[in-house]
Amino acid sequence: MEKKGGKSGIKILIIGIILAALVFGYYFYLTNKRNREASENKVDLTAVQNVLLRNLDKNYPPTPKEVMKVYGELTMCIHGQNYTDEEFEQLASQIQKIYDEELIAETGNSGQQYLEALKKDIDDLKKKGLVISSYTLPSAADVSYYTMDGYDWAKLYFTFNLRQGTNRTTSEEVFLLRKDEDGRWKIYGWKTVLTDDDKSQTGDS
């Protein structure tokens, strides 16, 4: 004689497994649906927008090398990306945040005057057909530190890699950074490092 209780127990177990599978399957479906919708609604940010999202007031780069990395990214955006007038002004404001106060004051690079000077630099580069393709940072060991006039200074070489049609060239510059009263390294100034060809043309030795 069969035991009814045994059959009932098996039926309940099977029903439980089926219900668990249905619940898991529905959860899996909802999760995939949300992920798919999130992916479809995701907006890809431009290089300019990514740079502008950086909060330099709260998260300022801690080393001269990191400051120059921000400088390189901003410069490449300014000279090589598409942006609105508002984004252009924001980029200009961002780059001034890594400039020393004396550099801004001595060159008069503030407000509308600074924006006009920056636009002129952009136009000059375009007229020459030059495109900044990338930049090269020095190693941490190649940054020189010293103290002078009560300030901490850092000196380093920074290279822009340029393209003009099919020709490729570089522009090496030496940068001087000074640490301000808040302990932040700011760009104090720079000059282009002349190549041997440049020196022969200008008569420099």
Query: pLDDT tens digits, residue range 127-140?
Result: 989 889 899 998 88
Q: Is the pLDDT of residue 17 over 80?
A: no
Query: pLDDT tens digits, residue range 72-88?
Result: 999 999 998 888 999 99
Q: Is the pLDDT of residue 204 over 60?
A: no
Ramachandran assignment for 80, one of left (phi > 0), alpha (psi -120 to 50 degrees), beta (any other): alpha
Tokens of 136: 């090269």
Cα–Cα distance measured from residue 149 to residue 133, given in angstroms and rounded to the nearest whole number: 38
Q: Is the pLDDT of residue 148 over 60?
A: yes
Cα–Cα distance measured from residue 110 to residue 103, given in angstroms and rounded to the nearest whole number: 10
How many CA atoms lie less than 13 Å away from 83 in the CB half-sphere?
A: 25
Question: Average pLDDT over the chain, rounded to whole?
Answer: 82
Tokens of 182: 């808040």
What DSSP string describes 147-202? EETTEEEEEEEEEEEEEETTEEEEEEEEEEEEE-TTS-EEEEEEEEPPPHHHHHHH
CATH 3.40.605.10 fits 47-202, yes or no: no
